[in-house]
Structure 1
Amino acid sequence: MINSSKINLYSYVCSIFIMSIVVISLICSEALQIQQAKEPFRGHLTRVTIQNYNDYLLAIHCKSRDDDLGFHILAKGELFGWKFHVNFRYSTLCFCGFSQRQINKGVFIIYVASRDFYRCANCTWKAEKDGFHGYGDIPTRGYLFYNWLN
């Protein structure tokens, strides 16, 4: 008889323990869903800066799939920049169109996660006479990414 009551007590304690685990799991799951609804998963913060090194006014118009960053005119030495979080699918893409007065200089991909995610968290672009130079997190080492169209 003592063994039977010990088994019943053991079953009762195990049942309470398992039910407690289930209840705690449900509460945590609900809390996580509420938190994700408030702030969905965000990738690392990326900054993009464009600086004009030319003697002329450079007009730029930058966009992504979700945002139009507007039209800006940069004099020599001026810069324009923005920051964003790379999406969880690593498909983030930003592009800009450039012009000098009525002359189209080109539309270039400024940030694409497949190319730039590991290249730079602070992506710097310099508009120079020969074209558009990209700098990664090592600012002294830039590369000519795009030649101007005109």
Structure 2
Amino acid sequence: VKSPKGNHISIFFSMFTEIIMVMLFICSQALQQNKEPTYLIRPFTRITIQNNNEYLLGVHCKSKDDDIGFRSLKKGEKYSYKFHINFPNSTLFFCRFSRGLINKGVFDLYVVDRDYNRCTKCLWKAEKDGLYGNGEFPKLALVFFKWIK
């Protein structure tokens, strides 16, 4: 003769097992559909901006979550910041460039889809005609943005 208490424990463990199995199935399906890399420990990515112009270059960088702040770069001066790629693989950093009151443009300096396999140390060089992005991996290295003024 089974006791009612033993029957409740059996039902509880049966439901618990079913819930775990459903959760594992859902997670495995989600991982199979995700085409981006999903590492638990993600390395830092570093963005470096170098001004190669004769004028003082204003740079203000942001993401959706972080405002890196404004910097003025003299010729040859570099400015760097680092970050981790977020979990849903949607990290985006953009920067506004200016020469005094003249807006030179706003450009996406890091986009996961474009840059994840291109660089973890991304170097952007501000030149006379625009912004050149170089990565560690030569075949995917060069990205170019033309100044708007």
TM-score by length of 1: 0.68
CA contact (8 A) 1:46 1:121 kept: yes
Q: How far has the Cα of 1:45 moved from its partner?
A: 1.3
Q: Which residue of 2 aligns with 1:85?
A: 84
Indicate the residue corresponding to 1:127 in structure 2: 126
What is the total number of aligned residue pairs between the two structures?
Answer: 109
Equivalent residues of 1:43, 1:88 under 8 A apart: no
Unaligned runs of 5+ residues in structure 1 are: 1-40
Q: Distance in 2 between matches of 1:143 and 1:44?
A: 22
Gaps of 5+ in 2: 1-39
Specify the alignment match of 2:13 in structure 1: none
Is 2:94–2:106's contact at 8 Å kept on the other side of the alignment? yes
Distance 1:127 1:69 in 2: 18
Moved over 4 A (4+): none
Deviation at 1:82, TM superposition (A): 0.5
Greater Cα radius of gyration, structure 1 or 2: 1
- Superposition TM-score, scaled by structure 2 size: 0.69
Root mean square deviation, CA, Å: 1.6
Indicate the percent of aligned positions where both proteins have the same amino acid.
55
1:95–1:108 contact (8 Å) kept in structure 2 = yes
- Name the SS for the 1:47 alignment partner: strand
CA distance in structure 1 between the aligned counterparts of 2:128 and 2:86, rounded to whole angstroms: 33
State the shift of 1:71 in Å. 0.7
Aligned to 2:103: 104
Could you report, residue by residue, the CA deviation over 1:60-84 in whole angstroms, capped at 9, with x for unpaired residues? 1000111101110000000111111
> Aligned residue for 1:5?
none
Match of 1:113 in 2: 112
Q: 2:69 & 2:105 partners in 1: Cα distance?
A: 16
1: CA distance, partners of 2:117 / 2:87: 14
